[in-house]
Structure 1
Amino acid sequence: MKYVLLSGLFLFSFFIPELKAQSQKGELKGLLLDEATKGALPYATVAVYTAADTVMVTYRMSDEKGSFRVPGLPLDQQLRVVITMMGFKVYRKEFKLTPDQASLDLGVINMEQSSNLLNEVLIVAETPPVLVRNDTLEFNASSFKTLPTALVEDLLRKLPGVTVDQQGNIMVYGKSVQKILVDGKEFFGSDPKIATRNLPANVIDKVQVMNDPEALRRDPDMPFMEIPQVINLTFKKGIKKGAFGKLYGGAGTKERYEVGGIVNMFRDTSQVSIIGYSNNLNRASFDFADIRRIGGFARSGFNSIGMNSNGGISVNGISFGGMGQGIQQSSGGGANFNTVTKRGTKVNLQYFFGDSREDLNQVVNSEQFLKSDTLNSRRNRRQISRSESHRIGGKIEWKLGPLTTLSINPSVQFSYHNANQNAYTNTFRHNGNRLNESTNEENISGEGMGFGNLLQFERSFEKKGRRLTLFSRMNQYSSLQDQINEAENIFYQPDPTATLLDQLRNTDQNDFEVYNTLSYTEPLNEAVSATFTLNSEYFNNDNVLATYLADPETGAYDTIVPGLSNGLDRSGWRNYFTSGLRWKIKDVTLQPGIRFTALNINNRFQTIPDIKQNYFYVFPNLNVNWKQLNFSYNVNLQEPMATYLQPVVDNTNPLFISYGNPSLKPTVANTLSMNYRKFDNKKSINYNANMYGTVRNNFITRARTIDENGVQTSRPVNTDGNWMLSGRGGLMKDFKYDKNKFSIGGNMQVNYDRSLILLNGSQSFSQSWNFRPGMEARMNLDDKLELSQSFDVSHRRSTYENNAFNNLSISTRISKSEIVVRMPKRIVWEATFDYWYNSNMAPGLQNSYGRLNAGVTLLFMKNDRAQLKLSVYDLLDQNISANRLIRENLIEDYQTEMLTRHGMLTFTYNIRNFGGKVGGRQNSLFRF
């Protein structure tokens, strides 16, 4: 808390003088009209320069009504205002503001249309920082000052109306950016972060923002606020090839280390990427953008990206570090190749591998509240595990014509994993009487192999709005797993009784699916279109369980247990036919429809009779768009997993025994959603709100029992009346004073969940509420000082209709602070302090902890290409991660041992080599 208070005082010590300075400056305002039509001229650029040397002071853009206001202008200095807009002549006027007359109203300015009809040509003495070219917004990069080491992402943060969050997601005037082009071509895939987090800002000439033409071609009636944006970056002259990336290596105390590199080379339409890494620091060796976007990895069709709260990353099941718990060592690498042939065919090839080792030491405390009793269970868990994965894939995309494309995405994956775990668990009543204790040693080993392919065909037609698409997905995955459990258990009621478990559980699973979607849209007139969609899916799940007991003499697991062994072969067809209309009335688009669903499943068991399930449903759906508001209603159908259907007891943990249920029915979920987004250009405020709700019939609920020894059993059953509702709203406002930028915002999230609890023959609906308000503030003073602070509070409460269960509530608080100081030149000081608090933690567990990290970086070599960083992790030596949650009628506390305090010295070299020659010879890759 002391650190947070000092950060706040430091912030206001800079912020107040800036406000004072701002109050002593002047402003310019006026109204822009078209001289010929007398209509308002929105989004014209109003830039103010010093008259003596034409250095830009600041600028603004006119709003929807054509009015503008330019604050923060210096007094007693000759200035020049330059107003530019495509298709109109440039307006110039010199003026001077004084303390007595600090505001100048230019009144109505009638902009004269230009006689030059070539809108691509605009010549002015003062280069405008922003220019609107028809439907394209163009920023002049040289008008926005950035550091020598700045990347495109840093440049975008300087642009008005553009916001970039901590994950690198980009919004322009409240609309999301889905693609970045470089000189009009895809650059290492279509994901924006490829360019924003790797291209240096000083090679960019223009930043152009426009509506995504492909999205509009697919859906001409797309709501305005839903149209994704495309950013096109134009290189400065002479830059058409190059390489970028980074190499780093570091060593620290307590045998900590990190090493890695990622190199990306491009020339014309070909790109090659190579990645490699290894560390034992509990984190990913590269950030989210590095792994998913750099080198066009996203272009291969691999789109299963996983992240956790600690920043860990996995790509389609392959860990790139930090994904597990405890203390981890991660290694891996890969290569990626993209090219475009002379005929326009896009080709991608890639290979990934990942290796992760984990050492987990964790305490889990579970407090379960019953009508007249409370059960407290504590488990101490120690696990050492390893996983290894390899994946090969690619993508080929053909342009069969100006309106037709076809692509295929094949992939193959191999994986291996093993884990050794020892868990000690004991359970007590509220009066202190012990019910049970167990020591369970578990060894798991397994391997898997999978193959998949995606096929996409898209055909547009000359008639606007007519479109035909085909999507086909095929996946086949096989896995084998052996699980050995050796458990010693003591049950104390009514008299102490000991049991032993020594068994091998073998699982052989094969899954296969083929999914096809054919969609056609036919415009009936300018306002109405008909849509037809046919979905057909075949699936087959083969799940075989075999349990063996150990031979007392040889120790070999060769005696099968029939009651714990069984096979399930499930196959079936899921077919949908959806028809509807799209009706556009001014700003409103209505899309009512109806879906016919047929589901046919055949479950074949080894030990019980086959079960056939045939269902037919008729579901309505509706989508409504009005300006920035979107509303939708639909119904989803999901059959239970094959493992839920297995009529086999899972007794690998003798204290928590699970049963299967072959009679489970598919879950039917009625879903309602609403979204609203708006960016107020004049006030620089970004608003967002959304709501989501679902009612689930035949929902899968665990029916549980607890016996006198505290042994729990569960069985999945179908229940009705389960539903949930969630909503979130927030806003963020930006302030800009000269070279300084401030942002402040807040949000509120509310969740409600109503679910059925079945325990010991009693049933009760639980009602869980979660309120989570949050605030965030950021400050950047001329890139010399950066401060950010976020604070989240969460309060969760569960109430129960049946008085057999006690009402529960927990509160958590999370505070995150960051400071960056870039003084003196080429020295960067930085520190982060994250604080967590959980109310009413179980005795013996820590309810709060803080993690303070700090570092200092020296920048050197040409253009600050090299960095030498000295950092210290967890200065307070807290060494834990803790969290608490409510589930059903219990509260669970998790406390996990993390890395201890350590120091690191890391050297990083950034590769930034783009085009051209130096001294008559080609630039080298590592040019100093």
Structure 2
Amino acid sequence: MKHLLPLLLLLFTATLPMLAHAQNAKGELAGKISDETSKEPLSYATVSVYNAQDTTLITFRMSDDNGIFKIPGLPLESRLRAIITMMGYGVYRHEFTLTAAQPILNLGEVKMAASSTLLSEVLIVAETPPILVRNDTVEFNAASFKTLPTALVEDLLKKLPGVSVDNSGNIMVNGKAVSKILVDGKEFFGSDPKIASRNLPANVIEKVQVMNDPEALRRDPDMPEMDIPQVINLKFKKGVKKGLFGKLYGGAGTDDRYEGGGILNMFRDTMQVSVLGYSNNLNRPGFGFEDISRIGGFDRSGFNSVMIRSDGGFALNGISFGGTEEGIQQSSGGGANFNTVFNNGITLNLQYFLGGIDADLRQITNSSQLVDEDTITSRRVRNQFSKSTSHRIGGKLDWKIDTLTDLSVTPVVTIADISSNQIAFTNTYGNFPELINESNNTQFYNNNTLTLGNDLTLSRNFRKKGRNLTYYGTYEYSTILQDQVNNAENIFFRPEPAITLLDQLRDNDTYSTKINNSASYNEPISKNVSAVFRLNSEYFDDKNALQTYDADPETDEYTLLVPGLSNELKRTGWRNYLTTGIKWKIKELTVQPAVRFTSLDITNTFQKNPTIKQDFFYVFPTLNVNWKSFYLSYNVNLREPNATDLQPVIDNTNPLFINYGNPELKPSVSNSIYLNYRKYDTKRSLNYSVYMNGEISNDAVTRQRTIDAFGVQTSRPVNTDGNWRINSSARFLKDFKYDNNRQYSIGGSIWASYTRTLVLFNDIQSFSQTWSLNPTLDAKMNLDDKVEFNQSFTLRHQQSTYEDNTFRSLKFNTKTSRSEIVIRLPKKLVWEATFDYWYNSNMAPGLQNNYSRLNGSVTYLFMKDDRAQLKLSVFDVLDQNLNAYRNIRENIIEDTQTVVLNRYGMLTFTYNIRNFGGKVGGRSSMFRF
């Protein structure tokens, strides 16, 4: 029953919108709207229904492409007033009453007369329509959409028809992404929409206007309709030109658990200063990803690397903000951000951030390889304590030189230090319980990284429509100084017990310089045809110096150089790409064929091996096709091997798993095709998409593995042909919104993949075929922000078969569900609970195949405008939490289980400055589980 409970909850939630609709579908108003003169149907006219006595808005709809509208769910035996409005036309009014005997009223064809009078001059204030369409701008009247007193702009946007906001705060309008939010027509909060949507109160908004991004259309006039970014302009009742928002929090719990931090954003006119600081030992970030990116300033200065873990931890540009390691973690960090706009069109951003994690990892990894009737199993138990600290100093300067020219410069300095102490105990079995070998390996690791970089972008649009030039240049210099000491005792039981010892220092230093210049030019030849040119030139200079030392038995110092394990690799060269093609536009179809000329000139110089030169020249076709909401592309890509794979020195830091390099590796050539279809049905509030990506690779880098009689495994990279990869997914989301107070959504997705990879194991060559299928169902319910319920359920099936019968087929299934409920009753209390369940159909002996995690909390709101919050929470009420997963690769099935936080209680106090904290509870809450 417990396996079926999440699915039953999901099905129950999915039926709620239909039940609610059936219970409230009492009466209906219908009709068709047309132009009185031309007789053409009028689409996007607003039909609003009010209570005739007090002019209270009941509901509204917009006419479709044929001018037809239907408004269900209207009350019976009440005097109602219908108001039909559209810019440029007079106002149509009609009062009516629906009865049980005649619950449906069809107005027939409503003919609208053109009018030069402004709409606001002929409407009573109380009858202001909830939606107006002004040319290409859709305008929402904020007063027509009810929100909580403490609601933010994001909560208001969620009420608007056609507008959706995901858990990360990303905004979509009719299926199109919102690129920025303006305040009274100005980029008051920078280019990140979430700065405004998740910090400004909704009750100061008078109107919300939505339009196409004019800058995006200027850059690419032929941009497909579904790809045009949207801009939201907020018109305020009273101007918000200065202020302070943010929050401070602190909490203590059982088992010495704690959390604390603060994040503030101070703004005046067009200047902003952000500061933040946090520390906790709860395996999670001090703030959410959206808080760091918007208030922390990363969305203003930009970021070129993002790492997000499934359990919520994340890092930006190499800076961890908590929860990015495994095991039990203590995270601390802080920083500041400065942003201002000058009158000469210059926007300046400066920032400094520090992030650090201390992690205690206790992990078991079980790997099984199935060959004929034999099973070779390796079980590794490791305990590791690590400490990492990262500093980032950066900024961004944007200069709008004139109306057609933009310049952007982004310098950055990153400094990172990582150290760890690890003890790993490994056993290898042949047909359990026969013990082949065992190893006890103590490791001390230290890594120091310095990165200096700068990005420069210059874009120029010319007077002639469609003509534009873009230059992009990057410079990066980095050093990685890495020391690793291994002290290992290895026992081999075949044919007779034997012991080997390892006590060595591996000093591996890497230096890298990269300079990349690229330019693209678009020249319109005719109204429908343009010529496209792209040039990319990249210089690189990589050095990998590896020195291995044995300990001197007299001094215990690592001074005895091991020549066979030491070498130096220097790789320099150029990558040059020239792409020429045409862009042909026929109505809604855009076809862009091109030819890419590629040259690679690489020199690999070794300290002890002959120099290897790699000169390649390729000519590849490319194709891009856009038609309405459909997009197709075909490309051929090159991937050079990593420097570590080219290093002709073995890595024996784990004596039971030895890695070799291969200096003769060639670049991989991959033919890839990409298909995407996205559609938003405004009439049905239905968003759906289909995606597929396929790739065939030749000279792909494949690991050639062996296991000898002593159980020692080796791995060496080689080039292989005939490797396939196909990924595909389909998604849908259906929204139901009733009376602006009740919202439901049902969504689902399915992700599938197929991989064909050559397995090289001992003297066996066999292609493996791996399938993975992952369907997911989601349902959400929001009743006037008083009760919220979310449910998701995911299945995963993975299976691997082999052409050679020497390898046995592998497969497994997992089930994952998450249930969440938020109740904001009575007025000052917020109750929350989440229940997570995970199940694996088959785990290695001794490892757990299922777990449940129940979290619960209650929050008390007090002080003026609920600025203060006191939250009592219990994590892992059932005391069953763990982290376990299974994966199939090559002919290996691997299980991993990690010790994580178990049950604890926590009492946290939060103070919201200026009460920009928004509604309390739910996944968007800063203190999520």
TM-score by length of 2: 0.96
- 1:925 maps to none
What does the per-residue CA deviation read over 1:866-922, in whole Å, with 9 as the maximum and x for residues that have no partner?
Answer: 1111100001111311111111101111111011200111111112379xxxxxxxx
Report the 3-state secondary structure (helix = DSSP H, G, I; strand = E; otherwise coil) of the residue aligned with 1:186. coil
Alignment pair present for 1:368 and 2:369: yes
For 1:724, the aligned partner's letter is R
**Offset at residue 431 of structure 1 (A):** 4.5
The answer (yes or no) to whether the contact 1:295–1:337 under 8 Å persists in 2 is: no
Between 30-39 and 842-851, the greater mean CA deviation after superposition? 30-39
Secondary structure (helix, strand or coil) at the match of 2:426 reads strand
Deviation larger for 290-299 or 461-470:
290-299
| Number of the residue aligned with 2:791 | 789
Q: CA deviation at 1:119?
A: 8.1
Residue aligning to 2:923: none
Separation in 1 of the partners of 2:450 and 2:703? 31
- Counterparts of 1:894 and 1:226, CA distance in 2: 41
Equivalent residue runs for 1:129-528 within 5 Å: 129-528=130-529
Classify the secondary structure of the residue corresponding to 2:675: strand
Matched to 2:816, the amino acid is: I
User: How big is the shift at 1:203?
Assistant: 2.2
Q: Deviations over 1:826-857 (max 9, x none)?
A: 21101001111111101110000011111001
2:243 counterpart letter in structure 1? G
Residues 839 and 4 from structure 1, CA distance in 2 versus in 1: closer, same or farther, beyond 3 angstroms?
Answer: closer
Shift of 1:168: 1.9
* 2: CA distance, partners of 1:508 / 1:770: 39
| CA–CA separation in structure 1 for the residues paired with 2:239 and 2:727 | 52
Cα distance in 1 for residues equivalent to 2:557 and 2:679: 67
Q: CA deviation at 1:388?
A: 0.6
1:892 maps to 894
Amino acid at match of 2:893: I
Offset of residue 36 of structure 1: 2.1
Letter in 1 for 2:35: D
Deviation at 1:268, TM superposition (A): 1.1
Shift of 1:10: 8.2
2-structure distance, mates of 1:347, 1:14: 50
Does 666-675 or 138-147 show the bigger shift?
138-147
> C-alpha displacement at 1:148, in angstroms?
2.0
CA contact (8 A) 1:30 1:68 kept: yes
Q: Residue 924 of structure 1 aligns with which residue?
A: none
1:638-683 superposed Cα distances (whole Å, 9 cap, x missing partner): 1111111000000000010000000011111111011111111111
Post-superposition Cα deviations, 1:224-247, rounded to whole Å, max 9, x if no partner, equal 111111222222213222111111
How far off is 1:12 after superposition?
8.7
Shift, 1:183, TM fit: 2.1
Q: What residue is the counterpart of 1:836 in the other structure?
A: 838
Identity of aligned residues (%): 62
The one-character-per-residue Cα deviations of 1:505-562 (angstroms, maximum 9, x if unpaired) are 0011111101111111000111000011110000111110000000112110000000
For the Cα contact (< 8 Å) 2:702–2:717, is it kept in 1?
yes
Structure 2 counterpart of 1:749, from 729, 748, 751: 751
Distance of aligned partners of 1:59 and 1:190 in 2 relative to their CA distance in 1, 3 Å threshold: same
CA apart distance, 1:430: 1.5
**What does residue 911 of structure 2 align with?**
909
Residue type of the partner of 2:128?
T
Tell whether the 8 Å contact from 1:152 to 1:201 is kept in structure 2 after alignment. yes
Q: 1:513 to 1:8 in 2, by over 3 A?
A: closer
SS at match of 2:666: coil
Q: Are the aligned partners of 1:194 and 1:296 in contact in 2 as well (CA < 8 Å)?
A: no
1:185 is paired with a residue of what secondary structure? Answer: coil
The 2-side partners of 1:8 and 1:225 are apart by 31
1:477-876 to 2 correspondences below 5 Å: 477-738=478-739, 739-876=741-878
Distance in 2 of aligned mates of 1:427 and 1:166:
44
- Whether the 8 Å CA contact 1:313–1:321 is kept in 2: the answer is yes
Deviations 1:85-137 (A, max 9, x none): 11111211111111111111011111111123x68987543111111111111
Q: Which residue of structure 2 aligns with residue 81 of structure 1?
A: 82
Q: What is the CA distance between 1:157 and its match in structure 2?
A: 1.3
User: Given residue 404 of structure 1, which amino acid in structure 2 is its aligned partner?
Assistant: T
Distance in 2 separating the partners of 1:192 and 1:768: 41
Structure 2: distance between partners of 1:16 and 1:669: 48
1:408-442 CA distance string (max 9 Å, x none): 11111111110000010101111421111001100
Whether the aligned pair in 1 keeps the contact of 2:13 and 2:780 (CA below 8 Å) is no
- Separation in 1 of the partners of 2:20 and 2:561? 78
Worse-superposed segment, 892-901 or 392-401: 392-401
Is 1:194–1:295's contact at 8 Å kept on the other side of the alignment?
Answer: no
Gapped runs of 5+ residues in structure 1?
A: 915-928
- Answer yes or no: is the 8 Å Cα contact 1:148–1:864 preserved in 2: no
**Distance in 2 between residues matched to 1:522 and 1:169, nearest whole Å:** 34
User: Compared with structure 1, are the counterparts of its residues 10 and 749 closer, same or farther at alpha carbon in structure 2 (3 Å cutoff)?
Assistant: closer
- Aligned-pair CA distance for 1:369: 0.7
- In 2, the alpha carbon distance for the partners of 1:295 and 1:758 equals 48
Residues 90 and 124, structure 1, Cα contact 8 Å, conserved in 2:
no
3-state DSSP of counterpart to 2:297: helix
Distance in 1 (CA, whole Å) between partners of 2:469 and 2:727 is 35
**Correspondence list, 1:86-97, <5 A:** 86-97=87-98
Q: 1:520 to 1:9 in 2, by over 3 A?
A: closer
Question: For the residues of structure 2 that align with 1:885 and 1:295, how far apart are their CA atoms?
Answer: 36
Separation of aligned partners in 1, 2:188 and 2:848? 48
Shift in Å, 1:481: 1.1
Matched, 1:111 2:112: yes
Residue equivalent to 2:927: none
SS at match of 1:878: coil
CA contact (8 A) 1:189 1:295 kept: no
Question: How much does 1:820 deviate?
Answer: 0.6
> Larger deviation: 224-233 or 587-596?
224-233
| Contact 1:7 1:787 survives alignment (8 Å) | no
Residue type of the partner of 2:307?
G
**Cα shift at 1:18:** 3.0
Alpha-carbon deviations, 1:551-602, whole Å to 9, x = none? 1121100000000000011010000110110001111110000000011000
Q: 1:347 to 1:586 in 2, by over 3 A?
A: same
Note the C-alpha offset of 1:487: 0.5
Amino acid of the structure 2 residue aligned with 1:206:
K
Q: Which moved more, 1:4-13 or 1:566-575?
A: 4-13
Q: Which moved more, 1:896-905 or 1:87-96?
A: 87-96
Shift of 1:372: 3.1
1:714-765 Cα deviation digits (max 9, x unpaired): 1000111001111111211122333211111222111111111000021111
SS in 2 for 1:216: helix
Structure 2 gaps of 5+ residues are 917-929
Q: 1:692 to 1:823 in 2, by over 3 A?
A: same
Write the distance in 2 (CA, Å) between the matches of 1:763 and 1:184. 64
1:230-268 Cα offsets, whole Å, 9 max, x none, are: 222222213222111111111111110000111001111
CA contact (8 A) 2:14 2:746 kept: no
Q: How does the TM-score come out when normalised to structure 1?
A: 0.96
Q: Partner letter of residue 512 of structure 1?
A: T
Q: 1:769 to 1:142 in 2, by over 3 A?
A: same
